[in-house]
């Protein structure tokens, strides 16, 4: 019974347990179902949430896209606006550029037109200047021709009015023929007596004074020798023969103006000769002029052909100054009486010391193409500008060992030079040749000049013209000191204030520019296109 009761209880417990399990299972199922039911909405909600999130994401993406689109729109709008603005600006810039281009083109055209105008103005100015120069050249040429014609006309008229009583008509004809078309004057005188064989163009020879040019170097040479500034070994002979300006400027500057004037007077310059003719001029001396050119170019000197004839005669006839006189006999039996004023008052070595250089001028120097040196001609040429034109001079005697004749030629004109005056004298000496008797032994005994060196002979072949007489001031040299032991001049550059052109150095009709080289040769070049011609000299 007890067993049955226990079984019954066990069944009950089992049933209860089953019921409990069943209930629990039902509850669990219900709970699970409830949970499932609860879960079902959750999944839906999550989906919805996901969808929502997706939507939100889409919304955000949309928003972002919208924002992007907005930005793009704005950017597009901005770009469009900017493009529009840029377009406007571009149009404006294009318009401005076109305007600038138009202005630039206009300015370029204007500038080009201005350049063309300026070029044309320059061309026209150049043409006008060329025409002006050509006109000036024509006028200068016309003035030169008129001036030269005037000089020649005056010469012809004066020769026609010369008083020829007592003259040697053969010599006169030879002198007139030799002078030819040159405007000038000729004096032919007996060197020891002063008798005038002829004076061609007596008005110029007696009443006119001329710049002596390089013939003044004879005075400078005598002064230098007598003052012992130079001796027989320092090139005086060659300097005279080749007419070296610098040499005589150095010597003369040491001698000084006052002494130079004293020596010029002793040699017959600056005083009347005493010719038996009216109207003789005394000439002019350079008082107060310390320019070195007075010793080489004769600036501020004025001399007459008669004075030069007296000077070269005195240098060669023992120092006796003669009085030039016309032979005017009252009857055919009258005899010419020579007259002498005085001696030079200098040592023979002083005045005869310049003779070798004068002979050298004829043998290889500035006169060598104009005269026949075999006749014993001793002379000095001169070329410079004076009184508005070139002046050519030649003062000479022959034969040097026993002088019989003095021949002086002075010409004026733009083509005149000392060598051409020497050529005129050479023709006159040819006429006098039968009257000239040479004594070579006496000549060579008197001559102290050394033979020309090879270099000097070469220079003689190259240097065919008178040394430059109006060289530029910077080319001159004068001394600053003298070596008292050798008495030779020490060369130093000359200050410009010592060497400058004077009033006589300036030409009037027309102006002539001289170029200078240190070889001592002169060359001339005209201004205004005026060409200066020089007659060809044929050696006698």
The end-to-end CA distance of the chain, in Å, is: 206
Q: Compute how many other C-beta atoms are within 10 angstroms of the C-beta atom of residue 97.
A: 12
Q: How confident is the model at residue 344 (pLDDT cuts 50, 70, 90)?
A: confident
User: Rounded to the nearest 5°, which phi and psi values hold at 404?
Assistant: -110, -40
Locus of tokens 């969808």: 51
Instruction: Give Cβ neighbours of residue 433 (< 8 Å, ≥ 6 apart).
Output: 375
HSE-CB at 58 with a 13 A cutoff on CA atoms is 6
CATH topology of domain 162-471+505-526: Beta-lactamase (3.40.710)
Q: Tell me which of 103-117, 166-180, 220-234 is least confident.
A: 103-117
User: Rounded to the nearest 5°, which phi and psi values hold at 507?
Assistant: -75, 155
Q: Where are the domains of the chain?
A: 162-471+505-526
The 10s digit of each residue's pLDDT in 182-200 is 999 999 999 999 999 999 9
Give the whole-angstrom CA distance, residue 30 versus residue 294: 159
For residue 222, give the nearest of 265, 275, 193, 171 by alpha carbon: 265
The 10s digit of each residue's pLDDT in 21-76 is 565 555 555 555 555 555 555 555 666 666 666 666 666 666 666 666 666 666 66
Give the whole-angstrom CA distance, residue 303 versus residue 218: 13
Q: How confident is the model at residue 161 (pLDDT cuts 50, 70, 90)?
A: very high
Give the whole-angstrom CA distance, residue 24 versus residue 18: 9
Q: How confident is the model at residue 144 (pLDDT cuts 50, 70, 90)?
A: confident
* pLDDT at residue 331 greater than cutoff 80: no
User: Rounded to the nearest 5°, which phi and psi values hold at 415?
Assistant: -105, 5
Give the whole-angstrom CA distance, residue 332 versus residue 433: 26
The 10s digit of each residue's pLDDT in 485-530 is 333 333 333 344 444 544 444 433 333 333 334 344 333 333 333 3
Question: Distance between alpha carbon 326 and the CA centroid of its chain, in Å?
Answer: 50
Give the whole-angstrom CA distance, residue 204 versus residue 254: 34
Mean pLDDT over each residue of the chain, to the nearest integer: 77
* pLDDT at residue 263 greater than cutoff 70: yes
| pTM, two decimal places | 0.66
* pLDDT at residue 289 greater than cutoff 80: yes
Instruction: Give the pLDDT mean for 214-237.
Output: 90
What's residue 343's pLDDT? 83
More confident residue, 269 or 2: 269
DSSP 8-state symbol, 352: G
């Amino acid at each position: 019974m007890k067993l049955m009761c226990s079984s019954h209880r066990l069944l009950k417990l089992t049933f209860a347990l089953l019921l409990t399990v069943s209930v629990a299972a039902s509850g669990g199922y219900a709970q699970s179902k409830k949970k499932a039911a609860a879960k079902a909405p959750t999944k839906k909600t999550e989906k919805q949430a996901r969808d929502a999130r997706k939507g939100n994401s889409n919304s955000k993406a949309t928003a972002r896209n919208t924002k992007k689109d907005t930005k793009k729109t704005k950017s597009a709008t901005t770009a469009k606006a900017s493009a529009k603005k840029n377009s406007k600006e571009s149009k404006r810039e294009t318009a401005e550029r076109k305007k600038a281009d138009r202005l630039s083109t206009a300015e370029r055209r204007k500038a080009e037109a201005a350049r063309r105008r300026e070029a044309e103005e320059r061309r026209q100015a150049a043409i006008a200047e060329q025409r002006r120069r050509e006109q000036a050249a024509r006028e200068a040429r016309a003035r030169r021709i008129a001036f030269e014609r005037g000089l020649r006309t005056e010469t012809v008229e004066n020769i026609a009015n010369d008083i020829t009583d007592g003259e040697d008509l053969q010599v006169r004809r030879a002198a007139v023929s030799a002078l030819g078309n040159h405007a000038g004057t000729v004096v032919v005188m007996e060197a020891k007596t002063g008798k005038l064989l002829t004076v061609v163009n007596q008005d110029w020879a007696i009443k006119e004074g001329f710049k002596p040019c390089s013939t003044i170097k004879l005075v400078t040479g005598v002064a230098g020798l007598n003052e012992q500034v130079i001796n027989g070994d320092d090139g005086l002979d060659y300097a005279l023969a080749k007419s070296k300006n610098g040499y005589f400027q150095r010597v003369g500057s040491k001698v000084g103006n006052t002494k130079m004037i004293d020596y010029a007077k002793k040699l017959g310059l600056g005083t009347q000769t005493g010719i038996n003719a009216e109207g003789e001029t005394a000439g002019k001396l350079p008082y107060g002029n310390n320019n070195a050119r007075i010793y080489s170019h004769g600036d501020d000197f004025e001399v007459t052909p008669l004075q030069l004839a007296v000077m070269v005669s005195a240098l060669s006839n023992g120092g006796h100054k003669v009085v030039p006189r016309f032979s005017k006999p009252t009857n055919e039996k009258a005899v010419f009486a020579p007259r002498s004023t005085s001696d030079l008052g200098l040592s023979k070595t002083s005045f005869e010391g310049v003779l070798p250089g004068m002979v050298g001028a004829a043998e290889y120097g500035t006169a060598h193409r104009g005269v026949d040196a075999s006749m014993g001609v001793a002379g000095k040429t001169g070329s410079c500008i004076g009184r508005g034109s070139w002046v050519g001079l030649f003062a000479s005697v022959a034969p040097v060992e026993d002088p019989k004749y003095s021949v002086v030629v002075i010409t004026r004109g733009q083509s005149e030079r000392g060598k051409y005056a020497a050529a005129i004298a050479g023709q006159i000496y040819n006429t006098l040749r039968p009257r000239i008797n040479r004594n070579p032994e006496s000549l060579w005994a008197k001559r102290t000049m050394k033979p020309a060196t090879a270099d000097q002979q070469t220079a003689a072949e190259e240097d065919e013209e008178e040394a430059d007489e109006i060289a530029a001031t910077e080319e001159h040299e004068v001394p600053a000191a003298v070596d008292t032991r050798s008495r030779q001049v020490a060369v130093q550059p000359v200050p410009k204030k010592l060497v400058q052109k004077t009033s006589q150095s300036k030409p009037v009709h027309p102006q002539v520019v001289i170029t200078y080289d240190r070889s001592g040769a002169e060359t001339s070049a005209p201004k205004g296109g005026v060409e200066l011609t020089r007659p060809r000299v044929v050696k006698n």
